């Protein structure tokens, strides 16, 4: 069974990709396409403000703040004019960027489950609402526990499992920036890390130096990184040249491979062992230590 860790938070709701936490904090699009800010209660305002600055904190301070915010959100009332579930989902969307620790993620999941129980959400066209998908993903990919007796949560769990099964059978052929073709299933005998990213994505940019360092360290052991972007070459090429990164960058302009892997948020990484079996996943930004854990599952250490 593939080991999974983390969960991406920059969801694709339309052809335009946006950070879910930012959408939740700024507000939904109004009838004329203008952002409408939530009418936060006095208790919610400082929590919303703290979520807006969470990414700016150092890793250790961020983990502590994440745990404290989970407890503060949990203590909020579930009044009709409150946004408890919105704040809980916003925190969950930020909590797996990096390595906050299992205990912190457990608090986040418990808070989100409780908020959804108090303020049930409705998804589009019979699909589970985003909060239930987020919770199901936290449970599967971060190995936390959650209890929620709700048909939408059960549907979300089933969908996460179905998506995982499809990813195990995925294959693709794409060209990199040099024109070389890469086919996933032709790389047996090597350890392959497939990474979905974009130049505009802050968590993607944050993990790239660690990923590049590991690529250079383990390349002679048969380690291959295939980083896939759906952006235009005119954006990707200068970014990579300026950053000085060494691993191959593959272009997926029509998002065919993103769709095959059911990539609805980035960054995401999938690790295949030398037999071509999917053995590890990271559904959000990873630190060097976390990447090493993923590679260990494929026999590189």
How distant, in Å, are the alpha carbons of 29, 31, 212, 220, 263 from that of 287? 33, 40, 12, 22, 20
Q: Show me where the domains of the chain are located.
A: 38-166, 173-297
Q: Provide φ and ψ at 54, rounded to 5°.
A: -60, -40
Q: Tell me what pLDDT residue 25 has.
A: 53
Q: Measured in Å, how far apart are the chain's first and last C-alpha atoms?
A: 20
pLDDT (mean) for 187-195? 97
**Which of 220, 185, 213, 227 is closest to 291 using CA atoms?**
213
> Is 38 buried (19+), middle (13-18) or exposed (0-12) by CB count in 10 A?
middle
Of the options 2.40.160.40, 3.30.70.600, 3.40.30.10, 3.40.50.1240, the CATH number for the domain spanning 173-297: 3.40.30.10
The pLDDT of residue 5 is above 60: no
Q: What is the CA radius of gyration of the chain?
A: 19
**Strand-pair category, 278-282 with 3-5:** parallel
Q: Tell me the pLDDT tens digit for each residue of 76-107.
A: 998 877 899 999 999 999 999 989 999 999 99
Distance (Å, whole) CA 194 – CA 227: 6
- CA 162, CA 167: separation in Å to the nearest integer? 9
Q: Which two tokens stand for residue 89?
A: 């989902």
Please tell me the predicted confidence (pLDDT) of residue 24. Answer: 55
**What is the average pLDDT score of the chain?**
88
Give pLDDT, residue 38: 83
């Amino acid at each position: 069974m593939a080991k999974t860790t983390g969960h991406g938070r920059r969801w694709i709701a339309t052809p335009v990709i946006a950070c879910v936490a930012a959408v939740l904090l700024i507000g939904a699009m109004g009838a004329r396409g203008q952002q409408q800010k939530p009418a936060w209660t006095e208790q919610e305002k400082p929590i919303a403000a703290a979520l807006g600055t969470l990414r700016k904190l150092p890793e250790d301070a961020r983990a502590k703040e994440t745990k404290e915010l989970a407890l503060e959100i949990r203590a909020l009332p579930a009044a009709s004019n409150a946004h408890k579930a919105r704040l809980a989902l916003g925190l969950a969307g930020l909590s797996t960027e990096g390595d906050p620790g299992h205990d912190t993620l457990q608090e986040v999941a418990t808070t989100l489950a409780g908020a959804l129980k108090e303020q049930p959400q409705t998804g589009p066209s019979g699909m589970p609402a985003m909060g239930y998908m987020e919770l199901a993903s936290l449970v599967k990919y971060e190995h936390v526990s959650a209890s929620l007796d709700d048909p939408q949560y059960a549907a979300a769990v089933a969908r996460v499992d179905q998506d995982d099964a499809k990813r195990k059978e995925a294959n693709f052929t794409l060209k990199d920036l040099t024109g070389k073709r890469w086919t996933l299933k032709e790389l047996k005998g090597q350890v392959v890390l497939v990474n979905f990213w974009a130049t505009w994505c802050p968590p993607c940019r944050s993990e790239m130096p660690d990923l590049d360092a590991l690529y250079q360290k383990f390349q002679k052991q048969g380690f291959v990184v295939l980083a896939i972007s759906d952006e235009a070459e005119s954006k990707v090429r200068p970014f990579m040249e300026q950053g000085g990164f060494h691993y191959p960058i593959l272009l997926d302009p029509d998002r065919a491979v993103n769709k095959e892997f059911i990539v609805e948020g980035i960054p995401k990484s999938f690790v295949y062992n030398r037999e071509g079996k999917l053995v590890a996943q990271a559904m959000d930004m990873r630190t060097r230590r976390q990447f090493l854990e993923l590679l260990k599952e494929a026999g590189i250490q």
